Amino acid sequence: MSIVSLIIIAIIALLLIIVIARNIKIVPQAHAFVIERLGAYYQTWGTGLHLKVPFIDRISKKVSLKEQVVDFPPQPVITRDNVTMQIDTVVYFEITDPKLYTYGVERPLSAIENLTATTLRNIIGDLELDSTLTSRDTINDKIRIILDEATDAWGIRVIRVELKNILPPREIQDAMEKQMKAERERRARILDAEGEKRSQILVAEGLKESAILKADAVKESKIREAEGEAQAILTVQKANADALRMLSEADPSTKVIELKSLEALAKVADGKATKLIIPSDMSKVASLAASVKEMVTDTKE
């Protein structure tokens, strides 16, 4: 075999190696390759190592199976009460069938954008301005359901739709700001009135409690005073009772009793009474007084 033949064989072998190496494909995670053979769909490659037949097979489309997010520019929409607004939407979707995604529709993202704009106009057209501003969740759900049904034939699943911004005309925004300001002022006045009312209630309750406490104090003082007087009376009565009991136990003589009567008579006569009643047994009292005088004189001597 000549050198030329060896060189040719080496070149052919090198070319075959290069061709084979160039046709070995690795599909990464969360991706898929759509393969065509002789211009027709052949198969879809999943994650892993694959060998493409040279000059016969070709990769028609590389598809990402990850969840994707598309932010569409603002779209002009008109509400039922003829207010024109600018609304931009964000669509979250994923590709479920690479084959349908490749052959189902031309420029899928543009198709989704146009379908979103059309659906948004139809839904907003049935709502008034106030309902549009307060019903975002409802609008999001309606758009998602419609888009999901329409894009199912394209191998796309719409996960969720969000209204990013709702921009009414400037004059509407000014009117809304004035309304919000008036509402805040009204709430502030209500809060002030409620605070003043609560303050007056607390003051009245304080005065009421103070009056009750004062009345209780006066009542307690009178009760204690009455108890003190009653205790004093009881003490005097007890002392008198004790004196009578002791006198009874001492068994005084008749002369002692008459002497005590005379002392009592002297005290009565010493008063300011204009009349004095003398006991009928005055002779005995007098004789008793003389006897007492003699006893006192003998004692001095």
Q: pLDDT class for 289, splitting at 50, 70, 90?
A: very low
Q: pLDDT class for 275, splitting at 50, 70, 90?
A: low
Distance between CA atoms of 136 and 142, rounded to whole angstroms? 10
Residue 173 lies in a domain: no
Domain extent at residue 26: 3-63
Residue 109 lies in a domain: yes
Same domain, 90 and 147: yes
Distance between CA atoms of 50 and 31, rounded to whole angstroms? 13
- Determine the Cα angle at 281 with ends 280 and 282, to 5°: 90
Residue 174 lies in a domain: no
Q: What percent of the chain has pLDDT over 70?
A: 79
Rg (CA), the chain: 61
Same domain, 22 and 43: yes
> Nearest 5°: phi and psi at 2?
-80, 165
Same domain, 138 and 47: no
The number of domains in the chain is 4
> How crowded is residue 139: how many other Cβ atoms within 10 Å of its Cβ?
22
pLDDT at residue 28 greater than cutoff 90 = yes
Residue 150 lies in a domain: yes
Residue 158 lies in a domain: yes
3 state SS of 40: strand
Question: At which of 114, 143, 168 does a domain end?
Answer: 168
Token readout for 126 is 């049935």
Average pLDDT of 195-208? 87
- Pair 70, 50: CB distance under 8 Å: no
pLDDT at residue 165 greater than cutoff 80 = yes
Q: pLDDT class for 81, splitting at 50, 70, 90?
A: confident
pLDDT, tens only, 6-23: 888 888 888 888 888 888
Distance between CA atoms of 210 and 204, rounded to whole angstroms? 10
* pLDDT attached to residue 186: 83
* pLDDT attached to residue 177: 72
pLDDT at residue 158 greater than cutoff 80 = yes
* pLDDT attached to residue 256: 55
Question: At which of 27, 45, 63 does a domain end?
Answer: 63
CA nearest neighbour of 169 among 83, 236, 291, 98? 83
* pLDDT attached to residue 297: 47
Same domain, 233 and 157: no
Give the C-alpha distances (Å, rounded to integers) separating 3 from 16, 17, 77.
20, 21, 78
Same domain, 224 and 207: yes
* pLDDT attached to residue 45: 93
CA nearest neighbour of 98 among 148, 150, 31? 31
Distance between CA atoms of 159 and 152, rounded to whole angstroms? 12
The rounded mean pLDDT for the chain is 81
Q: pLDDT class for 299, splitting at 50, 70, 90?
A: very low
Residue 49 lies in a domain: yes
Strand partners, 85: 77
Distance between CA atoms of 146 and 61, rounded to whole angstroms? 27
Question: At which of 63, 85, 104 does a domain end?
Answer: 63
Q: pLDDT class for 292, splitting at 50, 70, 90?
A: very low
Token readout for 12 is 């052919």
Average pLDDT of 24-40? 92
* pLDDT attached to residue 269: 55
Same domain, 51 and 96: no
Token readout for 279 is 């006991």
* pLDDT attached to residue 8: 83
Same domain, 210 and 290: no
Distance between CA atoms of 69 and 91, rounded to whole angstroms? 6
Same domain, 288 and 235: no
Same domain, 208 and 284: no
Same domain, 57 and 73: no
Q: Where are the alpha helices (DSSP H) in the chain?
A: 3-22, 98-103, 108-124, 129-134, 136-151, 170-250, 254-269, 282-300
Same domain, 72 and 145: yes
* pLDDT attached to residue 254: 59
pLDDT at residue 294 greater than cutoff 60 = no
- Pair 70, 147: CB distance under 8 Å: no
Same domain, 152 and 73: yes
Token readout for 151 is 């894009």
Residue 38 lies in a domain: yes
Most distant CA pair in the chain, distance: 194
* pLDDT attached to residue 102: 92
* pLDDT attached to residue 272: 53
* pLDDT attached to residue 296: 41
Average pLDDT of 162-178? 79
Residue 108 lies in a domain: yes
CATH of the domain at 150: 3.30.479.30
Q: Which of 56-60, 137-141, 279-283 has the lowest mean pLDDT?
A: 279-283
Tell me which of 241 and 199 has the higher pLDDT. 199
Model-level pTM? 0.56
